[in-house]
Structure 1
Amino acid sequence: MGEQPAGVAGKRRLRTVIIVAVVAVAAYFGGRALGLWGADDGRLKLYGNVEIREVQLGFRVGGRIDRILVDEGDMVKPGEVLARLDTRPIDDRLAGADARYEAASASASRDVNGLRPQEIGSARAAVTAAEARLAEARRQFDRRRALVDKGFISRADVQTAEAEVQAATAALATARNQLSLAEEGVRAEDRAASAATRNVAEAERRAVQTDLSDAYLIAVEGGQVLTRAREAGAIVQPGQTVLTLALTQPVRVRAYVSGADLPKIRPGMSVTVSTDGTTQTWPAKIGFISGVAEFTPKTVQTEQLRTDLVYRVRLTVEDPTGALRQGQPVTVHVPASGKR
C-alpha cells in the first residue's frame, strides 16, 4: 500500500526532466541576453545611422524657369539636365557681346597690320605734289623779286609770293610727316590699347556664355529628387533652391565605438550592416575613425544607455539596390577575426 504505481512514478520523472530542461534553456538564453554566455567571443556591435547626404540645387543666374524636367522620387544620373531657364534675355546679351568682340578684334588686327599699300602710296604721292607746289612757289617768288627791282610790279606782289613759298614749305613738311607715320605704322601703345579692348570684349563674351550654360540646372552626382521647390514660370533669384537631391551613392553609415572597443576596429576592415525589420545584411568597409572623442549622440540607440565618450566611425556600404534609406538606424557587426 506504501508503493506507488509504476505509471505515476514515470510521469513524475518525466515532469521533472521537462522542468529541468525548460529551466536550462531559459538560463542559457537569459544568460546570453545578459552577456553571461559567449560574452568574450570577440564580436562587436556598433550602432549608428545612414548618413543624410542632400544637396540644394539652384541656378547660378536669375530668371524665369522655362521647364523642370524631373519630379519628386525620380532617379537622376550625373550630367542629366534637371531644369532650365528662359534663355532669350541671355541670348540677346550674347549677340551684343559677340558684336562688340568682332569690332574690337577688327580694330586690333588693323593696328597690327598697319596701313594698306595703297594708303602708303597715296601718302608718297602727296609728298611729291607738295614738293612740286613748293618748287613752283619758289620760281614765282624769284621771278617777282626780279621784276620788283625793275619797277614792273609792286612790293606787295613779292610779299604774296613769299607767303606762298612758306605755305608750300609747311604743306611739304606735313605731307612728309604723314608719309613717315604711314610707313612706320601704329604706335606700340596704340596696338596694346586696341589689344586690351579686344581682350575686355572677349572676357565679356565668355561671361555671357557662362551665364547661358548656368541657365541649365545639371546634376553633378547621381541621386534621387526629394523636393521640387519651384515650378515652371516662377521667377527665381541666383542660388534660390529649385530642387533638393538626395545623394544615394555611395551609401555611408555613421556609427560610434567606445574607447574600450576602439582597438578592435581599423580603417579598411570588412564588416556587415543590418537594420530592423529584415534579416538582410549589407557588406561594408570602415573608412574613417575620428581621432577626437565625443559624447554618445542622442540618435544612437543601443541596448544600454551609454554616457561614456565614443569615437565616430564612417563606413561605406555596398547597397546597389538602394534598400537602405537616409537617416535609417543600423547595426554594424564587426567580426571577431578582424580580417580585412
Structure 2
Amino acid sequence: MSSKKLKQCTKLLAISSQLLAVLLFSCNKDENDFDASGAFEAEETIISAEAAGALLQFAIEEGQVLEKGQVVGYIDSTQLFLKKKQLEAQVKATRSRTPDIQAQTGFYAQQAAVSQSRLNNLLKEQQRFESLVKADAATQKQLDDINAQVDEAQKELLVISRQKEAQVSALRTQSSSLSSDVLPLRAQIDQLNDQLAKCRIVNPMKGTVLTQYAEANEMASPGKPLYKIADLSTMILRAYITGNQLPVVKLNQKVTVLTDDGKGGYLQTQGTIIWINDKAEFTPKTIQTKDERANMVYATKIKVPNDGTFKIGMYGEVKF
C-alpha cells in the first residue's frame, strides 16, 4: 500500500472515530438522566392604583428592586384635600354652637346660694322663737309667721333647683343634637383621610419590577394596573411528573435542581417541593418527562433559592 493511500485511510479512520464519538455523546445526551423537568416562574403581583387622578410622580423602572413600604409615586389629591378642609370648617362651626352648660346655668347657683343663706337665717329664728314660746316670752303667732317664712324659703330653693335641672337638661339635649350633627362630618373626614392615604403609591412587598404599565402624568383610576413585581430571591420551578412517580415524591421533600451552567455542564441547586397537583393534565409540548410515552402528568412546584442565576422561563431539570 502506497503512503498516499495510507494517509487517506488514516484520515477516514479519524473522521469515523469523531462521528462515532458525536453519535455516542448524542445518545448519552438524549438519555433521560433526570426525573422531571419544567420552567422557572415567580409569584408575580400586579400593583394597581387605588385612587383617581393624575400621576404627579411615578419613579420606577423595569428591573428596579423595590423595598416593602417604599413610596414610588403620588396621585393628585388636591380636590380631596380641599374637601377635607371644608368638612373640618363645618365641624368647627357646629362645635362653636355647643352651649357652655356651666356658664349658662351659673346664675341658678347664685340664686340658690342667696336663698339657702336666707333659709339658714330663718331656721335660726325659728329655733329661737320656739324657745321663747316655751318660756312664754313670745306669742304663737310670731312662731307661726316664722314657720311660714321658713316654708316659703324652702319652696323657693326647690323651685330654683328644678329650674336649673330643666335648663341643664335642655342644654344637654342641644349639645347632644350638635354632637350628632358632627358625627357624619367626622365619618366623611375619615373617608377622605383613607382616600388621601391611597393617593400615596406604596410598594407592598420587596421585589423586582417586571413590567411597568403606567408613566408619570398619565391618569390613574381605581383598579388600573401600574406595575408588576415579583420577589426573585426565591424562584419556583414548575416541574411535571408521571403517575408512577407520585409514590416517590411528597411535600417538603428535598430535591436536586439541574440547570445549564453555560459550559456544557450542569449547575446543581437544592430545592424543596412545596406543592403537588392532585389532578393530572396533558403533557405540555415543551416539557420532557421520564417516560416519554406518558400523555398525562402532574404538576409540582419546587421552591429554589435564587442568587440571580435563575430567570423566569428558564428551563430546569429535577432529580428526586
Cα gap change, 1:184 to 1:89, in 2 (>3 Å): closer
Q: Distance in 1 between matches of 2:22 and 2:52?
A: 69
Q: Distance in 2 between matches of 1:303 and 1:291?
A: 19
Name the residue aligned to 1:92: 82
- 1:310 aligned onto 2:297: yes
Residue of structure 2 aligned with 1:237, choices 221, 224, 234: 221
Give CA deviations for 1:263-290 in whole Å, capped at 9, x if unaligned: 2221112222233463323321111112
1:293 is aligned with what amino acid? A
Pairing of 1:1-340 with structure 2 (within 5 A): 44-103=34-93, 110=98, 115-116=101-102, 118-122=103-107, 179-184=164-169, 186=171, 193-276=177-260, 278=262, 279-302=266-289, 305-320=292-307, 322-328=308-314, 330-335=315-320
The RMSD of aligned alpha carbons is: 4.2
1:314 is aligned with what amino acid? K
Cα distance, 1:66 vs. partner? 0.8
Q: Distance in 2 between matches of 1:211 and 1:22?
A: 73
Q: Distance in 2 between matches of 1:235 and 1:32?
A: 58
Cα distance, 1:292 vs. partner? 1.9
Cα gap change, 1:66 to 1:308, in 2 (>3 Å): same
Give CA deviations for 1:183-234 in whole Å, capped at 9, x if unaligned: 44545x7666544444323322221111111111111112222333322222
Cα distance, 1:92 vs. partner? 1.7
Check whether the contact 2:46–2:225 (CA below 8 A) recurs between aligned residues.
yes
Q: Distance in 1 between matches of 2:272 and 2:312?
A: 18
Cα distance, 1:261 vs. partner? 1.1
Structure 2 residue ranges without an equivalent (≥5): 1-13, 113-158
Cα distance, 1:241 vs. partner? 1.9
Q: Distance in 2 between matches of 1:87 and 1:75?
A: 27
The percentage of counterpart residues that share the same residue type is 21
Q: Distance in 2 between matches of 1:69 and 1:314?
A: 34
Check whether the contact 2:237–2:316 (CA below 8 A) recurs between aligned residues.
no
Cα distance, 1:300 vs. partner? 2.3
Cα distance, 1:258 vs. partner? 0.5
Q: Distance in 1 between matches of 2:304 and 2:105?
A: 78
Q: Distance in 1 between matches of 2:171 and 2:28?
A: 95
Q: Distance in 1 between matches of 2:160 and 2:232?
A: 78
Q: Distance in 2 between matches of 1:44 and 1:98?
A: 69
Check whether the contact 2:240–2:289 (CA below 8 A) recurs between aligned residues.
no
Cα distance, 1:311 vs. partner? 1.4
Cα gap change, 1:102 to 1:250, in 2 (>3 Å): farther
Q: Distance in 2 between matches of 1:239 and 1:24?
A: 62
Q: Distance in 1 between matches of 2:195 and 2:209?
A: 24
Cα gap change, 1:31 to 1:124, in 2 (>3 Å): closer
SS at match of 1:79: coil
2:310 is aligned with what amino acid? L
Check whether the contact 1:290–1:312 (CA below 8 A) recurs between aligned residues.
yes
1:224 is aligned with what amino acid? T
1:51 is aligned with what amino acid? E
Q: Distance in 2 between matches of 1:227 and 1:27?
A: 44
SS at match of 2:105: helix
1:48 is aligned with what amino acid? G
Give CA deviations for 1:139-162 in whole Å, capped at 9, x if unaligned: xxxxxxxxxxxxxxxxxxxxxxxx
2:199 is aligned with what amino acid? A
Name the residue aligned to 1:163: none
SS at match of 1:243: strand
Q: Distance in 2 between matches of 1:288 and 1:232?
A: 40
Give CA deviations for 1:13-47 in whole Å, capped at 9, x if unaligned: xxxxx9xx999989986875676xxx9xxx74211
Cα distance, 1:91 vs. partner? 2.1
1:326 is aligned with what amino acid? I
Cα distance, 1:332 vs. partner? 3.0
